[in-house]
Chain A
Amino acid sequence: MLGTAILSGLVLGGTYALVAMGLTLQYGIARIMNLAYGETIIAAAFLAYVMFSQWGVSPVLGLLIAIPGGFFLGYIVYGLLMRPLVARARDKASLEIDSILATFGLLFVIQGLLLVVFGANFTNYSYLNIPVKVLGTTVAANRLLALVMAVVSGLGIYLVLTRTLWGTALRAVAVSPSSAALVGIDVDKAARTAFAIGGALAAAGGVVISMYQTFTATSGVVFTMKALIVVIMGGVGNILGALSAGLILGLVETFVATFVSPGLTLAATYLIFLGVLLWRPAGMFGRTTR
């Protein structure tokens, strides 16, 4: 029973982590509080749905289109929408406010487009819904894929950020953009790339969770909210923080559902969130000084 709960919890946590990692990059490095993040996920989910239902293309192949597509979209959005805001922001706080307002508008633009094209109905398809036995527990293959992707991309990006020169430049921008500029880092390009990578992660997340999650054109805000909780709990800008926070939330939810009551999962999730913030206000791995 315990093993089942642990594994199911990790798998559920994989979903949460996958949808949150892109946001932590965008918020941490590019300093953009992207409220339209969930909409990117949903747009990618619709893409996978269309590819699967209309053209019979597997969503795994859809990843090959979604990831570059998400990157490209993030690149364009930052260049057109965010760069002017960054240029005129006097300090971090005003940039956050400006980016919240701008991305809030972007949220409605994307949501409106999706509503016009796809309508507001429940969209659902089933792919890779086959049982896979892992360590004595049966889990769905598509959910396991989400966990695997979350771990792989999380570790991969962590290694890039810490082991490569370019990754270190990104981290420098996250710590202090003004100082980074002084040492010759192109802050604008770094932020733009980080934002685009965040978009690519969002798109990948959208494609994978569309395999098992029912969604509508208006589900974006739900995902943004969930991602935000994971990001803040894990520490803004910290990719391993987002990964571990997501996994912890998944574990907590499954444990409470299995051993206490499924009705208390929401309460337990927010209780943990509250607890972590009281213990470490900047998040689990967040920096205390900004």
Chain B
Amino acid sequence: MKTFQRRQVLRSAALVAAVAATGVGRAAFGEERKSVRIGYAISKTGPNAGGAGITTLPNYLLWVKDVNDAGGLELPDGKKLPIEVIEYDDRSSSEEVVRATERLATDDQVDFILAPWGTGFNLAVAPLFDRYGYPQLAVSAVTDKAPQFVQRWKKSFWMLGGGHDYAKALASILVEANKAGTINNKVAMVSVADGFGIDLVSAAGPAFKEAGIEVVYEQTYPLATSDFSPVINEAMASGADSFVAFSYPPDTFALTQQAQVASFNPKVLYLGVGTGFPVYGKNNGENATGIMSLGGIDPANKANEEYRKRHEAHTGIAPDYWGSVITYASLQMLQEAIKRKGLDREAVSAELASGTFETVLGETKFEENQLRKLWWTGQWQNGQFVGVAPSDRQGVSKVVLPRQEWKKA
């Protein structure tokens, strides 16, 4: 019995090896390439799915559709190849995203890997991208350490700035408003006790201090807090004209609603992630006007407007007002770099680092592998979340302060 089984095992092993060899051999023989293989691991389920499903995944799908509809990715010799997508759901698990990225690089051997969602995940896969030589266009990652990361991982590109950028921009807006006599220099600041909140509050503390702004109320709250009435009541009692919350989407929505119920009307209301979601503007209507947050867009940018329409038409949801357009722009840069340099990842990375590209953002160029031409602060005005800082950038909208009081529905 045993020998019979062993022969069977050996036979099937030989068969498998033969099949594998032909598969490998086929690629090695340089058979005519039929497509460009692009892979990505994205959070389709789990706690990250909300963010990834608004900022990242729809843009990946939209870009692939746009490219394939136009005939495919154009190569330097003029030939167009369709994109073949390999998608993995990382289930919002960091082990899974690392495993999936490794699989994309070694098993599927894709030509390019698109970045996952979230600062933590981008940091987790950065060593893998670097080891296997893939350029990493990290859009949904907010980190002050980008300059160091670029030194360590030469092909990484960080496209959403860092906590200090956003905090300094907010501080300068507050200082301006204080100088104009619109608000006092007191701020009530709350943050979620998680990556984003911690990152931004540790940047905001020094930034506010440097600008002479006094933080009279500071609290952190745990994830999944649903009742903010104690926090809002204390902020109301603190005498601060500005209320800043570094919050996640569920908290942002809850804070907005409970501020309305409590008739809490700070002259400056700055909330965290989620403020730039179209659903936020829709749900709050006129009451969203004047509320500020990270990100923003240039309402006069026609390319952006057309991109937003296409995004909604194809994916069914509107893009957010912060990272969505940056994600699409990053893909356009990749597409253009491939058009100029072909599918050699070294050459594409070098082109991305040094070249100038025309995207939905306008003229886009990396500065030491970082995108610095970003809207740091945005404000809801006339049904759109427009960029109001840096104030010297072309396309900026003027900050409107103080925020008007909540209107009854």
Chain A residues close to B by CB (< 8 Å): 4-5, 8, 11-12, 15, 115, 119-122, 124-126, 129-131, 138-140, 143, 212-214, 216, 218, 222, 253-254, 257-258, 261-263, 265-266
Give complex CA distance A119, B224 in Å: 20
For the complex, what is the distance from the CA of A253 to the CA of B227, rounded to whole Å? 9
B225–A265 contact, CB under 8 A? yes
A110 to chain B, nearest CB (A): 13
> What are 15 A-B residue pairs whose CB atoms fall within 8 Å in the complex?
A8-B227, A121-B50, A121-B53, A121-B317, A122-B250, A122-B274, A124-B253, A126-B257, A212-B254, A212-B257, A214-B254, A218-B49, A254-B229, A257-B227, A257-B231
8 A-B pairs besides A124-B279, A129-B260, A254-B227 with CB distance below 8 A are: A4-B233, A122-B54, A129-B409, A140-B261, A212-B257, A214-B254, A263-B221, A266-B222
* Chain A residues closer than 8 Å to B229, beta-carbon distance: 4, 8, 139, 254
CA of A131 to CA of B250, assembled, Å: 20
Count of A-B residue pairs with CB < 8 Å = 109
For A253, the chain B residues whose CB sits under 8 A away are: 227
Partner of B250, one of A120, A214, A265: A214
Beta-carbon contact of A213 and B226 below 8 Å = yes
A218 to B93, CA, bound (A): 14
How far, in angstroms, from A222 to B223 measured CA to CA in the complex? 12
- B339 on interface, CB distance cutoff 8 Å: no
Do the beta carbons of A120 and B44 come within 8 Å of each other? yes
Contacts known (A121-B53, A122-B249, A263-B193); A218 close to B221, Cβ less than 8 A: no
Least CB separation from A123: chain B residue: B279
Given known A-B contacts A214-B249, A263-B222, A120 and B254 have beta carbons under 8 A apart? no
Does residue B46 face the partner (Cβ distance < 8 Å to A)? Answer: yes
With both beta carbons as reference points, the residue of chain B lying nearest to A140 in the complex is identified as B261
* CA–CA, A222 and B258, complex, Å: 22
Instruction: Tell me how far the C-beta of B105 lies from the nearest C-beta in chain A, rounded to whole angstroms.
Output: 26
- Contact in complex: B219, A131 (CB < 8 Å): no
Q: How far is the CA of A51 from the CA of B55 in the complex (A)?
A: 26
Give Cα distance in the complex from A266 to B192, angstroms.
13
- Using CB atoms, name the residue of chain A closest to B227: A12
A130 touches B279 (CB 8 A): no
Q: Give Cα distance in the complex from A262 to B225, angstroms.
A: 9
Interface string of B228-247 (1 = CB under 8 A from A): 01110110000000000000
B50 near A258 with CB under 8 A, answer no
- Within the complex, the shortest CB–CB distance from A132 to chain B, in Å, comes to 8
Contact status B261-A130, CB under 8 Å = yes
From B52, B225, B317, residue with most partner A Cβ within 10 Å:
B225
Q: Are A130 and B50 in contact (CB under 8 A)?
A: no
* Interchain CA distance A3-B260 in the complex, whole Å: 20
